[in-house]
Amino acid sequence: MANLQSFQVPMLNKSNFDNWSIKMKALLGAHDVWEIVENGYEEPQDEAALSQQQKDRLRDMRKRDKKALCLIYQALGDDDFEKISNASTAKEAWEKLQNACKGAEQVKKVRLQTLRGEFESLHMKESESISDYFSRVLAVSNQMKRNGEKLEDVRIMEKILRSLTPRFEHIVITIEETKNLEEMTIDLLLGSLQAYDEKQKKK
């Protein structure tokens, strides 16, 4: 029997269920308890009626089930533990986790679709200041990132330049022709546009 402490138990978080479950299956398999998580075991109606051999087998099943449950507990933070704290077997705990995480993934995908639509339809309003518009774009792009979108700064800057009001047309052309957006930061872009805006207002 390998010492449980010598194994690094992978921790489940909000976004890693698929990878986590692969690692956990391997770990539970190494401890010879994955089968009991996958298939569960039957509790007898009347334990007294069992033969000694059946009682020994039942005791072994219960012990392996508790061991599997113990390993699953070690891989969870407090929030995830709450989701399965009333599960009586390792199989039940595993299924509850699976349902909770898959459900959360679906919600995230739907949310991301909505946010992508919002991002694409963003346009600066005539009455809006450049910094307010930047804040609006960044609010949506940050939410997209939190929901799993890989959004590069360059893509955000391109979006901003495409969706400014016509009064920024000259500076947009200049920036696109002379500056490499890959080497620019969002703050730098904001600074350039604000400086241009101030100059225009003075004219």
pLDDT of residue 1: 44
Length of the chain: 203
Report how far residue 30's alpha carbon sits from residue 182's, in angstroms, rounded to the nearest whole number.
Answer: 47
What mean pLDDT comes out for the span 148-175? Answer: 94
Q: Which amino acid is at 22?
A: I
How large is the angle between the packed helices 153-162 and 130-146, nearest 10 degrees?
A: 140
- The predicted-structure confidence for 100-112, as pLDDT tens digits, reads as follows 888 888 888 899 9
Cα-flanking dihedrals φ and ψ of residue 101, to 5°?
A: -75, -40
What mean pLDDT comes out for the span 56-75? Answer: 96
Q: Which two tokens stand for residue 153?
A: 């700064």
Mean pLDDT taken over the chain: 91
Domain boundaries, the chain: 8-105, 122-202
